[in-house]
Structure 1
Amino acid sequence: MDKYIFDKKNGLWYELQGDYYIPCLTLPTEKEHKPIGLWGQRHKRYLQEHKRAVYTTLLTSGKLNRYLADIDEQAAEMMFRLVEQMAGKEGVTEQLKAENSMLWVGRMNEIQARAREIVNIEIIYA
């Protein structure tokens, strides 16, 4: 038996594995490979665990990396914007940082935790 055969009906190559011919399938390659940061990794894990159909569709269509890179970029921008706005509204300024750095660090940590929670709810786990 031949190791590889070609089926003219569907245009696929098949490889002999034991007693069976298995189609030689590959995923489409993505045109550009953007790096995926923390937010994109979290969203990927969420898709794998809770939205398997969406994850599989994106993976097999070759659009997963671009999608996750976009999610990562949106989440990072939203996080930066929220922290900036919350700090401005709550009076956490550079002047406070110069006068009482420990208070500034504590308040900024609280602001970042709230902003992180908003980003998680609005983008990552949506």
Structure 2
Amino acid sequence: MKERFIENNIEYILAEDGMYYPNLQLPEDNETRPIGLYGSLRKSYIKESHPVLYMDLILSGILTKHLSDINEAAYDRMDLIPKQMAEQQGITEQLKSSDWLKWLQAMNSIQASAREPVLSEIVYA
């Protein structure tokens, strides 16, 4: 028996049990960017809610790239939305210097409010 053979462009290898198995390998994921908080949340979401998409991303070797892209997009929005909301609500640096506790409460509230659309529109979409 041959140790290896190719049929339909797939290489088969003879195993110890006498059966031939396809020599399949996952493509390497060469992404070096971190996946971060939002990437981790996205990974958990698609793994549980969309297992076919999750496996497709793994098998195509782009899971880490996808998660890194989601993380960057979410952080970009988290930089933009609070600034816009603070401007709309009149939260200024002058308020920060005159009443820092009120400024801190307002900014914490804005951060919490900004997190909701980021999660729903980017991470869980």
Smaller-chain TM-score bracket:
0.7 to 0.9
Q: Secondary structure at the match of 1:32?
A: coil
| TM score, norm. by length of structure 2 | 0.87
Aligned to 2:13: 14
Percent of aligned positions that are identical = 40
Range that drifts further, 16-25 or 114-123: 16-25
The question of whether the paired residues in 1 share the 8 Å contact of 2:4 and 2:14 is answered with no
Q: Which amino acid aligns with 1:107?
A: A
Aligned to 1:94: 93
Give the Å deviation of 1:33.
2.2
Distance 1:117 1:79 in 2: 10
Give the Å deviation of 1:98.
1.1
Q: Which amino acid aligns with 2:51?
A: R
How many residue pairs are counted as aligned between the two chains?
A: 124
5+ unaligned residues in a row in structure 2: which ranges?
A: none
The question of whether the paired residues in 1 share the 8 Å contact of 2:10 and 2:23 is answered with no
Runs of 4+ in 1 over 4 A off after TM superposition: 17-21
CA RMSD of aligned residues (A): 1.9
5+ unaligned residues in a row in structure 1: which ranges?
A: none
Aligned to 1:115: 114
| Deviation readout 1:15-61 (Å, 9 max, x if unpaired) | 62656544332210134322111111111110001011111101100
Distance 2:78 2:10 in 1: 48
The question of whether the paired residues in 2 share the 8 Å contact of 1:15 and 1:24 is answered with no
Q: Which amino acid aligns with 1:97?
A: K
Distance 2:84 2:62 in 1: 33
Q: Which amino acid aligns with 2:122?
A: I
Q: Which amino acid aligns with 2:70?
A: I
